[in-house]
């Protein structure tokens, strides 16, 4: 039996740049340590669009970018400075 709430009429569209994920949720989604995420933010590798009540909120785009940064660091062995260079090259 299908749930009524599972109907498409109850879907919501969340823009990919809407900041909705709290820091602890992002750490859980990416299995990332808080200090690593904090370092990435401090190094300016990700710019948070919005802060509410002094809490850092991340958008879906932010989480995807963080996942890419994590891939570069964990899978490819690139350090923070190297990630910065890669991102700068890709954004030009």
Long-range CB contact pairs, 27-31, < 8 A, 24+: 29/63, 30/63, 30/66, 30/67, 30/70
Question: Residue 10's pLDDT band (boundaries 50, 70, 90)?
Answer: confident
DSSP 52: E
Domain covering 16-90 in this structure, CATH number:
1.10.1660.10
In this prediction, residues 32-36 reach a mean pLDDT of 95
* Domain residue ranges in the chain: 16-90
pLDDT(49) > 90: no
Question: Residue 2's pLDDT band (boundaries 50, 70, 90)?
Answer: low
**How many helices (H) does the chain have, and how many strands (E)?**
4, 3
Three-class secondary structure of residue 79 per DSSP: coil
69 and 39 in contact (C-beta within 8 Å)?
A: no
């Amino acid at each position: 039996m299908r749930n009524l709430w599972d109907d498409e009429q109850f879907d919501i569209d969340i823009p990919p740049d809407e900041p909705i994920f709290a820091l602890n949720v992002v750490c859980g989604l990416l299995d990332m340590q808080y200090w690593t995420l904090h370092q990435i933010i401090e190094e300016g590798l990700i710019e948070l669009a919005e802060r509410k009540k002094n809490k850092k909120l991340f958008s879906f785009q932010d989480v995807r970018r963080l996942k890419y940064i994590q891939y570069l660091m964990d899978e490819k062995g690139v350090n923070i400075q190297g990630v910065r260079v890669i991102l700068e090259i890709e954004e030009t």
